[in-house]
A and B are shown apart, each in its own frame.
Chain A
Amino acid sequence: MLKQTWGERAREEIGSIKPSWAARYGWDPQVREEEDRIDLHIRFRRTHPGGDRQDRHVLRLRYQEDFETAGRREAFVNPANPAEEGPQFWPAGVTGFRPQDNPPVICIEGTWGFHSVLHRERDGRAANLNRLLLAIQRCLNP
């Protein structure tokens, strides 16, 4: 049996996103590919206490050759222009989110910040994309 390339493994992982969760939470996963990367864009809604205000955020998870060990490189981007990224697009005051870091990181298993910065001892191969997305969903809406 032929070994999969990193790109094939990344596409397989992205393809494993559960449709029922994507539909319920409005994730609307979008993929953009370039030669050395695969970018997955996920939409999140954040409802503030009281339920009268809702923010929308777009998370870009960048897959590169080392994504299984180094993690998926995380960045929040401009919902209106996904090519634009920066700490101003990060949700504020969310447990595990560190927009003030350089670069900003998310401290949840599966991200680059978790496996390459904050918890280098944790094996990234155990990470699971559905689990990561659900964790982010719940951190945004505790």
Chain B
Amino acid sequence: MAEFVVLKVITTGEDLEDRFNTKEALKVVFNRALQAVGGGANRDQFTLEYQDQPLDLDRKIEEYTEQFRWEDGTVLELVPRPEVI
């Protein structure tokens, strides 16, 4: 299994493309993508998704690379939760 994977994250702000250690938890990707939409204060307002499915941020990246055959260039999305007040 590859030690690193290049992931792209589409956000409502700037998109992110970076190389990640697959041994790390997915929250590393989430936290980095959050910076594009204003930082950690917004963390409860977003979910990280792959093909419309929310991802578990506590799972290691390598679990998903194995489960979904993620390879370099795989696209994730940082999606806002609808906020209706």
Q: Show the binding face of A for B, using Cβ within 8 Å.
A: 18, 20-21, 95-96, 107-109, 118-119, 128, 130-131, 134-135, 138-139
Looking across the interface, which residue of chain A has its beta carbon closest to that of B75? A20
Distance from B38 Cβ to chain A, minimum over Cβ atoms (Å): 8
Looking across the interface, which residue of chain B has its beta carbon closest to that of A126? B38
A139 to B82, CA, bound (A): 7
Looking across the interface, which residue of chain B has its beta carbon closest to that of A109? B83
Among B32-85, those with CB < 8 Å from A are 37, 75, 79-80, 82-85
Chain A residues near B13 (CB-CB < 8 A): 128
Distance from A22 Cβ to chain B, minimum over Cβ atoms (Å): 12
Is the Cβ of A135 less than 8 Å from the Cβ of B10? no
Is the Cβ of A134 less than 8 Å from the Cβ of B84? no
Q: Show the binding face of B for A, using Cβ within 8 Å.
A: 10, 12-13, 15, 37, 75, 79-80, 82-85
Majority-rule SS of B interface residues: loop
Given the known inter-chain contacts A18-B10, A20-B10, please indicate yes or no for A119 contacting B85, CB distance below 8 A: yes
Looking across the interface, which residue of chain B has its beta carbon closest to that of A20? B10
Looking across the interface, which residue of chain B has its beta carbon closest to that of A119? B85
A108 to B79, CA, bound (A): 15
Looking across the interface, which residue of chain A has its beta carbon closest to that of B13? A128
Chain B residues near A107 (CB-CB < 8 A): 84-85
Q: List 19 A-B contacts (CB under 8 A).
A: A18-B12, A20-B10, A95-B82, A96-B82, A96-B84, A107-B85, A108-B82, A108-B83, A109-B83, A118-B85, A128-B12, A128-B13, A128-B37, A130-B12, A134-B12, A134-B80, A134-B82, A135-B83, A135-B84
A119 to B75, CA, bound (A): 35
3 shortest interchain CB distances as A-B pairs: A96-B84, A130-B12, A135-B82
Given the known inter-chain contacts A96-B82, A139-B84, please indicate yes or no for A131 contacting B12, CB distance below 8 A: yes
